[in-house]
Structure 1
Amino acid sequence: MTTTPATADDTTETILIVNGAPVRLAGDPTRPLLAVLREELGLVGTRFGCGQEQCGACMVLIDGEPVYSCSREIGALAGRSIVTVEGLGGGRGLHPLQQALLDEQAGQCGYCLSGMMISGAALLERNRRPSRREILDALDRHLCRCGVHNRVVRAVRRAGAAMDGLVDEGTA
């Protein structure tokens, strides 16, 4: 679970845990995680937005915390657990937040939505009944030009209630 040193042919191997599975990556350990996810692993749900930690489109969970993937070098993440929007459901179908976003029709252009799902899911892991203010704070790092924030807030509340088993996911 480390980065192995460069060999004579200047390749390095980095092992990451991506969506629950170990992934061996050879090559430059300074590559951005976002590029590796999209270009090498085909996990294109994580979006490139600004490349400067300003828009939130590239958010992933690293050891359970929402983090910008555009600025994280893979070598610094060796052995760490990375969850993308594709892995939110843990292989058991849709995460309750993903379902709630569908139910609330929160996707418009969808560009910001994967990052918002990541931040919303992280919030719900800590607090299944967040206040509106807590949800807005969790989503504050996300730029959305379509204006779906109110629907996303409703979806986070719906998902939290569903996770608590208080309501049927389809009737929140």
Structure 2
Amino acid sequence: MNLLGPREYRYVGPADIFDQARPDRRGHPITSHDDLSAWLTRQTAQDPEEPFTYVIDLAGTLRLAPQRSEHVACAGREPVLGAGEISFASSRGTWTVTEISNQSTGYCPDPSSWPAVAAALDRAGLDHPPEFTHPIVFRRCSQCRQRNIVKDDNYVCAVCGNSLPTTWNMDSPGTPLP
């Protein structure tokens, strides 16, 4: 972790997806419950209780986009403090975060990104779980350079069978830049 604050995650996914994202278009900023309620009301193509794409930008603001949006597009190609999928439920006119993950294969944020995510949700006044409801562990294989999702603490590359590091390394030297 960065001693000066939360880790910044740069995009580590496919270059063609990065190239399609427009820097002048980002996900909708959510800074209050009213922002969220208004934005969800406009999302007629998606059930508000289904997951949405989110990022936490470098200013610490939650940004939302429809579910099938790429995280790098939601971030306007910029690095992020967190990224994943988020679901909401409404009770008596109040929206609450019901599920949240760090599932973003473009940024591959570590579960340790939770404090930055929680802080953005708190600043927006949104009730949320105490941690990721679906944390995902990402590692890059030092042998074949492929991105991996670690399941059941099995730190083995799914592509070449090499051992994976136990610490986050998605932006390690040799990682191709978009």
Q: Tell me if TM exceeds 0.5.
A: no
Q: TM-score, normalised by structure 2?
A: 0.29
Q: TM-score, normalised by structure 1?
A: 0.30
Which structure has greater helix proportion? 1
Which structure has greater strand proportion? 2
